[in-house]
């Protein structure tokens, strides 16, 4: 790893920020204490909610950690398409005995207020999803001693991340669970996104800043592979969804390895932006016509997802998961880091002996 990263976390393992209550402070603390980099997800929270989690995390660990922000989205959604989708979801609302949410409940995710908190109360790392922050934002974070990571899904996006002055690019392959962090919402949901190993190699030849690789990584041998391809560390989401400390709904954890959920798909059904989830009834029924309207669709479906969780119905939940979900291991997060580090070491030994399994 580059020294800027090894100083922060000795093992090349980043626990992905996971909005929606998954990457709680207990999870981030366990990962950072084990020598990885734990992350909090500020997405969908208020600025104060984010601040309270940071304070809680600081009480749990003295190790470095990161906080993730969503970039505000441009006004591109067609209100008529959102309206049509609301009509298509009416049957869900009556089935779960709830109302649909207000699609206009806010588009900027409280970005400016969250940045203000992070500038007043600096944290070691801030990462950004869904775009590139302005250079002034990155400069301001640097002035308070914060490193900046930004997601890219193509080599072109990675160049934009480097041009903006960020310290690290997170190369996110199409295998990744949750939302694709494309800078603009142009990705088709047909799987035409770039696979991680191709992406890391392309990004390596396009930028000079360190790369963190994300998407489908569940074993230490895969971390060895992306590092051999040019990444300095790997960011794992789905692997940590299953960890004991993760705040994921029990149904979400169980679904990762339940043979009834055989595959994942990129879908706009829950949020209006392509995100990878286990294919359940909701994805099958509504994915084919869900409009490109983020975050309006996220707000629209929020009460449905809440009601499905309350009813214990995994068929109505957003079961975010990467392509490696069947390999999830239900372990304490610190132990998961240790196992990954041991697998990484043996894969590196095998690679240097020229005979990886
Ligand atoms: C449940 C879940 C929630 C996620 N939420 C966020 C988020 O809030 N911010 C973010 O930058 N990435 C988020 N991601 C994407 C991860 O950063 C990462 O790209 C992905 O988990 C890597 O693929 P994997 O899940 O196969 O390991 C999320 C992923 C999952 C599985």
**DSSP assigned state of 204:** H
What pLDDT score does 351 carry? 82
DSSP string for 32-84: HHTTSBEEEE-TTS-HHHHHHHHHHHHHH--S-EEEEEEPPPPS---HHHHHH
What pLDDT score does 187 carry? 80
For 115-124, the pLDDT digits (tens) are 999 999 999 9
Q: For ligand 1, is residue 42 a contact (CB within 6 Å)? A: no
Q: For ligand 1, is residue 19 a contact (CB within 6 Å)? A: yes
Q: Which residue has the tokens 């029924």?
A: 285
Q: For ligand 1, is residue 314 a contact (CB within 6 Å)? A: no
For 243-274, the pLDDT digits (tens) are 999 999 999 999 999 999 999 999 999 999 99
| Tokens at 345, concatenated | 């070491």
3-state secondary structure at position 95:
helix
Q: To 10 degrees, the CA torsion angle through 3, 9, 13, 17?
A: -110
For 273-303, the pLDDT digits (tens) are 999 999 999 999 999 999 999 999 999 999 9
Q: Are the beta carbons of 247 and 22 closer than 8 angstroms?
A: yes
Confidence of residue 77 (pLDDT cuts 50, 70, 90): confident
For 121-149, the pLDDT digits (tens) are 999 999 999 999 999 999 999 999 999 99
CATH code reported for the domain at 3-72+108-249+327-350: 3.20.20.70
Q: For ligand 1, is residue 193 a contact (CB within 6 Å)? A: no
3-state secondary structure at position 2:
coil
Query: Count of H helices and E strands in the chain?
Result: 15, 11
Give CA angle at 279 (275, 281), nearest 5°: 115
Q: Which residue has the tokens 């996006």?
A: 157
Tell me the average pLDDT across 32-50: 98
| Tokens at 273, concatenated | 């932006």
Residue nearest to atom 21 of ligand 1 (CA): 237
Residue nearest to atom 10 of ligand 1 (CA): 17
Mean pLDDT of the chain: 96
What pLDDT score does 356 carry? 46
Domain regions of the chain by residue span = 3-72+108-249+327-350, 77-107+262-318
Q: What is the 214 CA–ligand 1 centroid distance (Å)?
A: 8
What pLDDT score does 6 carry? 83
Q: Quick check: 175 pLDDT over 60?
A: yes
Percent pLDDT > 90 in the chain is: 92
Residue nearest to atom 30 of ligand 1 (CA): 178
Q: How far is CA 253 from CA 247, 257, 278, 318, in A?
A: 10, 8, 11, 12
Confidence of residue 341 (pLDDT cuts 50, 70, 90): very high
Q: Quick check: 181 pLDDT over 70?
A: yes
Residue nearest to atom 5 of ligand 1 (CA): 18
For 188-205, the pLDDT digits (tens) are 877 789 999 999 999 999
Q: For ligand 1, is residue 320 a contact (CB within 6 Å)? A: yes
Q: Are the beta carbons of 273 and 53 closer than 8 angstroms?
A: no
Q: Quick check: 75 pLDDT over 90?
A: no
Q: What is the 352 CA–ligand 1 centroid distance (Å)?
A: 31
φ/ψ (deg, to 5) at 38:
-80, 150
């Amino acid at each position: 790893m580059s020294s800027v990263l090894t100083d922060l976390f000795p093992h090349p393992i980043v626990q992905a920020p996971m909005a929606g209550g998954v990457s709680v402070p207990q999870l981030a603390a366990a990962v950072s204490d084990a020598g990885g980099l734990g992350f909090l997800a500020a997405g969908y929270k208020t600025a104060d909610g984010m601040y309270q989690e940071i304070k809680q995390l600081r009480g749990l660990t003295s190790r470095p950690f990161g906080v993730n922000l969503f970039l505000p989205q441009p006004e591109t959604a067609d209100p008529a398409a959102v309206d049509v989708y609301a009509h298509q979801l009416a049957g869900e609302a009556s089935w779960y005995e709830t109302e649909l949410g207000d699609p206009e409940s806010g588009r900027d995710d409280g970005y400016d207020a969250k940045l203000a908190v992070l500038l007043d109360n600096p944290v070691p790392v801030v990462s950004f999803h869904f775009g590139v922050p302005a250079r002034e934002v990155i400069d301001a974070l640097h002035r308070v001693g914060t490193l900046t990571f930004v997601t890219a899904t193509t080599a072109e996006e990675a160049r934009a991340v480097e041009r903006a002055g960020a310290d690290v690019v997170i190369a996110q392959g199409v295998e990744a669970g949750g939302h694709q962090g494309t800078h603009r919402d142009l990705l088709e949901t047909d799987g035409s996104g770039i696979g991680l190993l191709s992406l890391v190699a392309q990004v390596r030849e396009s930028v000079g800043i360190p790369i963190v690789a994300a998407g489908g990584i569940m074993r230490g041998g895969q971390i060895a592979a992306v590092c051999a391809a040019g990444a300095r560390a790997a960011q794992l989401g789905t692997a940590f969804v299953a960890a004991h400390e993760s705040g994921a709904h029990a149904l979400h954890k169980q679904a990762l390895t339940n043979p009834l959920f055989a595959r994942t798909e990129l879908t706009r059904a829950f949020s209006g932006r392509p995100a990878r989830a286990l294919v359940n009834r909701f994805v099958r029924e509504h994915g084919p016509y869900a409009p490109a309207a983020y975050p309006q669709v996220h707000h629209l479906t929020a009460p449905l997802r809440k009601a499905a969780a309350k009813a214990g119905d995994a068929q109505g939940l957003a079961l975010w998961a990467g392509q490696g979900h069947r390999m999830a291991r239900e372990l304490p997060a610190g132990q998961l880091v240790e196992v990954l580090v041991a697998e990484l070491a043996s894969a590196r030994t095998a690679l240097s002996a020229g005979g990886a399994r």
